[in-house]
Amino acid sequence: FSPRDVTVLFVLGGPGAGKGTQCARLVSEYGFTHLSAGDLLRAEQERPGSEFGALIKDCIKNGAIVPMEVTVQLLENAMAETIRSAPKGSKSAARFLIDGFPRKMDQALKFEEVVCPAKLVLFFDCPEAEMERRLMERGKTSGRADDNAESIRKRFRTFVETSMPVVEHYEKEGRVIKVDATPTPDDVYKDTKGKLVKFLGE
Ligand code: UP5
Ligand code: MG
């Protein structure tokens, strides 16, 4: 995809920082297409006949990162399908929020090389204690295999060791919009909007 035709925003932040929550709001107000890498992986895991099902299941439970070839391909397919099935001139089909990706440097470089460079990175910054509280609460009803104390600990570790360097890489390039994700969803959204609108020029 050419950055002339599509706009890609990476949405990063620790497990439970509120990436999905904020993306849903941006979609309804600004007409983005929201692609959560985690959701795409969970769907692929459930797809009958997927050769990656067992691998994905194991990685998610252990908070490990699925090999990038799998995730990059799922994202690329989802972007192509969105564009293919959109009415001509659709604004949202050309603007993607890529949520929870890239979480490792190799994925970031690969995606920007073979799919599309990201215009900017939205980074939701949240203390671990608050993210843990949210995930444990959600775990009572979410049915997610990784919303339990042991998996959450592993997810945090992967985030600090492997995913924060990606955020730092983009920070050095001046491509990061950082938002404090601790307040209420409404307040986080207000802050996000204020900062994002400047970049998007609307
Ligand atoms: N909540 C949200 N905002 C709140 C607020 N401001 N105040 C109070 N509560 C708030 O929110 C989490 C919970 O908190 C919800 O109950 C929400 O109501 C509440 P959510 O918006 O879902 O947060 P999010 O950041 O999206 O959390 P999520 O659990 O989805 O984050 P992860 O990054 O851990 O999960 P993801 O689905 O992206 O990835 C899962 C796994 O997939 C990874 O661990 C990894 O194994 C694998 N993966 C890869 O291998 N490669 C990839 O590229 C991506 C994923
Ligand atoms: Mg999410």
Asked if the model's pLDDT at residue 197 lies above 90, the reply is no
Average pLDDT, the chain: 96
Q: Is 32 exposed, middle or buried (0-12, 13-18, 19+ CB in 10 A)?
A: buried
124/24 Cα distance (integer angstroms) = 14
- pLDDT-derived band of residue 132, with 50, 70 and 90 as boundaries? very high
Residue 21 Cβ inside 6 Å of ligand 1? The answer reads yes
Whether the CB of 139 sits within 6 Å of ligand 1? no
pLDDT value of residue 202: 60
Q: Which ligand is nearest to the CA of 37?
A: 1
CA of residue 37 to ligand 1 center, whole Å: 10
The tens digit of pLDDT for each residue in 63-97 reads 999 999 999 999 999 999 999 999 988 877 789 99
pLDDT, tens digit, for every residue of 24-73? 999 999 999 999 999 999 999 999 999 999 999 999 999 999 999 999 99
Q: pLDDT of 14-27, one tens digit each?
A: 999 999 999 999 99
**Ligand 1 atom nearest 36 alpha carbon:** 38
- For residue 139, is pLDDT > 80? yes
pLDDT at 5: 87
Reduce the DSSP state of residue 94 to 3 states and report it: helix
Q: Do residues 38 and 100 lie in contact, with contact meaning Cβ atoms separated by under 8 Å?
A: yes
Kindly state the tokens that stand for 94: 């050309």
> 17 CB less than 6 Å from ligand 1?
yes
d(CA 127, CA 121): 19
Q: What single letter denotes the amino acid at residue 202?
A: E
Give the pLDDT confidence of 144-153 residue by residue, as tens digits.
999 999 999 9
**Separation of CA 37 and ligand 2 centre (Å):** 8
Element (H, E) at 162: none
Peptide bond into 48 cis (omega under 30): no
Q: How confident is the model at residue 168 (pLDDT cuts 50, 70, 90)?
A: very high
Nearest 10 degrees: Cα torsion 29, 98, 91, 176: 70
- Residue among 21, 26, 121 whose CB has most ligand 1 atoms within 8 A, to mutate: 21
* CA gap 64, 47 in Å, rounded: 20
pTM of the entire structure?
0.97
pLDDT beyond 90 at 199: no
Return the pLDDT at 198: 82
- pLDDT(193) > 90: yes
* DSSP secondary structure of 107-161: HHHHHHHHT---SEEEEEE--HHHHHHHHHHHHTT---TT-SHHHHHHHHHHIII
Ligand closest to the CA atom of residue 55: 1
